Amino acid sequence: AGVIPAAVRALRHLDAGPARAVVGPCVRPACYEFGEAELASVVSVVGDGVEARTHDGRPALDVAAGVRLALAAAGVDECVDTGLCTTCSADHWSHRGGGDRQRQALVAVLVA
């Protein structure tokens, strides 16, 4: 918790210009079943916007919504969400979709 606001603060320290972000491919709620108790715990911290349902109606966590909420709360001026699901996409890897065969990365970039 707190990674997104800390990253935004660090980037703003380097450049006071407008903050823009992109939410890249990630597991989307239709594919991310989440336990009800765990989901309630996340909702109590992040807000109702992260509560979702899977394609078959089970409780799910909307990770991208949580990231967008945290970015907005941190003062990010513009946020674009690719909408891509790593589980559904053949072009992206997902532990939920394909197991532990590959790795992933998070990238933060400051464009001057």
- Output the pLDDT for position 111: 64
- Positive or negative torsion for Cα 53, 4, 75, 81: negative
**Cβ-Cβ contacts under 8 Å for 77 (sequence gap 6 or more):** 18, 19, 20
- Output the pLDDT for position 88: 83
Q: Is residue 15 part of a domain?
A: yes
Residue 48 is part of a domain; what is its CATH number? 3.60.140.10
Q: Is residue 109 part of a domain?
A: no
- Output the pLDDT for position 15: 79
Parts of the chain with a pLDDT under 70 = 1, 89, 91-112
Q: Is residue 52 part of a domain?
A: yes
Tally of domains in the chain:
1
Q: Is residue 46 part of a domain?
A: yes
- Output the pLDDT for position 23: 93
Q: Is residue 34 part of a domain?
A: yes
**Cβ-Cβ contacts under 8 Å for 89 (sequence gap 6 or more):** 25
- With 0-12 / 13-18 / 19 or more C-beta atoms within 10 angstroms meaning exposed / middle / buried, residue 64 is buried
- Output the pLDDT for position 19: 80
CB burial readout 66-99, b (16+ within 10 A) else e: bbbbbbeebebeebeeeeebbbbeeebbbeeeee
Q: Is residue 108 part of a domain?
A: no
Full domain range(s) for residue 44: 3-98
Q: Is residue 103 part of a domain?
A: no
Q: Is residue 61 part of a domain?
A: yes
- With 0-12 / 13-18 / 19 or more C-beta atoms within 10 angstroms meaning exposed / middle / buried, residue 105 is exposed
- Output the pLDDT for position 17: 74
